[in-house]
Structure 1
């Protein structure tokens, strides 16, 4: 059903607003391309590539791709989940103190939490890989997964919804007591004045002043009833907001704890084969494929399909794709060397091996960045889509503003954060841009006509083309991911 305010809009105005909102969202995401490409180029061309090259020799190309893909995606998922939980916590606190949601403050808290979490995880990843090699990331993933699971279990069984609701019950008790005291006082005064009127009627001395006093009391009773109705409505709105926020905290805590398990299992199996010297054997690829398909089938066939299952399966397939692309990059170099030898060029096996290792390493890093950015866009779009369906176009504007602020702060602190910290923080900023994209996508679907949907989509593509790279495949994928996740509601 079309809202009343949309019925009064002309089609041209609706198309224009949709195009502008889409352009704002697309421009914000496109602005992330340049700094992300710069930090990726710095990693590929600098000393940070050395541990990646050494990692291929230790675990094989398939194991390295799986390990880097898992690390990148778990970092992205953790950053987004931290941001959402932080925003919900701030909103709950503001709801307790000011009796208002404070979405702007909550959004800013989400941007800061997402970026700082991504920066911290990126800095830890850089430190481990540079100091102890790529295999250390495998043990770090295992420890991190177990730690998240323990935290989730602790929170699940200690912080219940009743405890959260108890905070607001105590908060509303003062208002209820105040209204009750006012009502008792009014009843006492009415009773006393009624007695006086009865006496006056018996003595036939009812005056005009008594009639005016009665009318004033009637107005006071009506005002009190109005305040009581307003209080009940406010309490119902607060209760609805509390329930939504608590549900979001619960679901994203579950997502934070469980979504990385399928990828971590895949990385352990594949990297384990590489550590024991079987990384280059074809049967490892078959085992990896069977493992991914089996876990995906088991999760997707669950009676209670949760958000973490859906995203975990998609992330696991993305990890598998990164591993395959890493192997394929090396095989392309080998194929080119065979053609060059047939053409009469003498290329040593050592040079071919060095080129294969280098190309596979570059491909693993590039694919990891790409998938991490798309993951951030998708998860951010899930949040933005749900918010835009309730709050409208201001979600797009606020999310874009927060993303720009976060991006500016990250670029200013790039030297202090280091390469790994900056990379993780930029992925977090991409999550804020994904919120804007998801909000625009939700508004496009919610539009009263196809023209509005097309105008919003055109605005998103226009913004991406103007501020980002002219990569049609990537732009199309980002827009599709924004639409799919913005309409996803597996809560």
Structure 2
């Protein structure tokens, strides 16, 4: 659907409304900053880093960074897709059971139920994956995480075909709406037939009355004609409303099916490129070549070939774009992890030259610690950007489909705020990994609001409205986020780019 301008307002009014909408989205984005930072601080304490540091020797710095990066991105992608699928299922059931007339399609109930289901599904999925990853690392080390990630990646393509079959079966099973339409059409046809029979009987009665010498007054004729005309108009109106509602119901159901198909494909295939990079990089680390120069050549060649094949595809899809971005991001995280360890070596060499020598064991321990710290910091930040961006790909299209910018922005912000409070309440039960995954889900819900605000910024009829929305978004995020200029300065452009992307 081509984007249309918002309703005509004065430039000053557009700027004020845009600033208010942008501020709502910016405030919920800023509200996620402190909880995420606190969780990351807990994850990077000495006790939490110990399992990761112990495995850094096995897979090497490159393998560690690639593995943690791929795992974090897979968690973010999976949780978003889980939320979208759950929201689509709830919306599909709502459309079918409510017979979805024009009032139902744009009702608060449809978007509220779908939004709550999506946000809850994203948060719950993120918390579940976070708990699972923490358990795997503690019990089976990083190699167990590598095996789990590999198995999950291999199972996703066949499971995606199974899910499509189940979705079609569920869609055919949940056909209350079309059944209702058939009954409604049948009832209208019966009423219309009865009306025709009644008119025919009345005409016959008039003819018999005239034949018997009776007469019908003009007032009585006009009254009868007016009544019949009103009944015919009412019947035509009901038929038109039924046909219009059926068309709208079919349209929104087709859109829901398109969303499900696209996101299931995205979940099934987008993680393959970065998982391949993580497996190859970890393999080199296991055999002791984690930092060898030849590894860079192999990895660059591998990344280049995969990116070329995907980007050069004649049937380019959204999952290919995000798959390439995830693969490149995984590679960058691996480079940052390796660089963090090399910085320790460089510092030790300078200290030795200054006469402050250190033991090899101490240097190795510091390298592993710094590499693990950098891997977790970079991977978690990238996962947060991924979650925010994928949330924006939901909020942007919703606004462009005229779902209501106020409903999407304010609704998503309120849901994210409620989830944020819920995560804090259940933090002792969730643990470190569960809380981290749940917070990623909250960031995804906030991304819906931010993406919607970004889409609104591009739909105003004046530059004042656009600038006002952007200013509200940035000021709200910085103010509530306690002026985390670097973090928010990176998140807002990412959300804008993803909000303008049409994955369908």
Same-fold call, TM cutoff 0.5: yes
**1:343 offset after TM fit, Å?**
2.1
Higher mean displacement: 101-110 or 424-433 = 101-110
Cα displacement (A) at 1:209: 2.9
SS of the aligned residue for 2:356 comes to coil
C-alpha deviations, 1:428-478, integer Å up to 9, x for none? Answer: 000001111100000001111222222211111111211225343322221
Q: Is the 8 A contact 2:181 2:242 kept in 1?
A: no
Aligned-partner Cα distance in 1 for 2:477–2:355: 46
Structure 1: gaps of 5 or more residues? none
SS in 1 for 2:151: helix
Match of 2:97 in 1: 97
Aligned mates of 1:293, 1:472 — CA distance in 2: 33
Between 1:311-320 and 1:199-208, the stretch displaced more is 199-208
C-alpha displacement at 1:323, in angstroms?
Answer: 0.5
2:206 pairs, out of 175, 179, 197, with 197
Q: Take 1:470 and 1:286, find their aligned partners in 2: how far apart are those partners?
A: 40
* TM-aligned CA deviation for residue 269 of structure 1: 1.0
Q: Which residue in 2 is equivalent to 1:160? A: 168
Label 1:245 to 1:282 Cα distance change in 2 as closer, same or farther (>3 A).
same
Asked whether 1:6 is paired with 2:4, we answer no
Q: Does the aligned pair in 2 maintain the 1:67–1:267 contact within 8 Å?
A: yes
Distance 1:5 1:385, change over 3 A: closer
Q: Distance in 2 between matches of 1:351 and 1:179?
A: 85
For normalisation by structure 1, the TM-score amounts to: 0.96
Distance 1:369 1:158 in 2: 33
SS in 2 for 1:448: coil
1:173 paired to 2:174: no
Deviation at residue 235 of structure 1 after TM alignment: 1.2
Contact 1:48 1:130 in 2 (8 A): no
Distance in 1 (CA, whole Å) between partners of 2:5 and 2:426 is 46
Alignment match, 2:433: 420
Q: 1:438 touches 1:485 (CA, 8 Å); kept in 2? A: yes
Choose 148-157 or 315-324, whichever is displaced more. 148-157
RMSD: 1.8
- Partner residue of 1:220? 231
Unaligned runs of 5+ in 2: none
Counterpart mapping for 1:71-86 below 5 A: 71-86=71-86
**Mean alpha-carbon deviation: is it higher for 64-73 or for 37-46?**
37-46
Q: Give 3-state SS (helix, strand or coil) of 2:7's partner.
A: helix
- Specify the alignment match of 1:286 in structure 2: 297
Are 1:60 and 1:279, in contact at CA under 8 Å, matched by a contact in 2? yes
SS of residue in 1 equivalent to 2:44: helix
- The size of the alignment, in residue pairs, is 490
Q: 1:433 aligns with which of 417, 436, 446?
A: 446
Distance in 2 between residues matched to 1:19 and 1:51, nearest whole Å: 47
Aligned to 1:307: 318
- Cα distance in 2, alignment partners of residues 4 and 128 from structure 1: 50
Partner residue of 2:120? 112
Q: Which residue of 1 aligns with 2:501?
A: 488
Counterpart of 2:67 in structure 1 is 67
Instruction: Give the equivalent residue in structure 2 for 1:29.
Output: 29
CA apart distance, 1:117: 0.2
Question: Quick one: distance in 2 between partners of 1:3 and 1:306?
Answer: 25
State how far apart, in whole Å, the 2-side matches of 1:80 and 1:57 are: 33
TM-score, normalising length: structure 2: 0.94
Q: Distance in 2 between matches of 1:460 and 1:128?
A: 39
Offset from partner CA, 1:84-129 (integer Å, 9 cap, x none): 1111110111111122341011101111000000000000000000
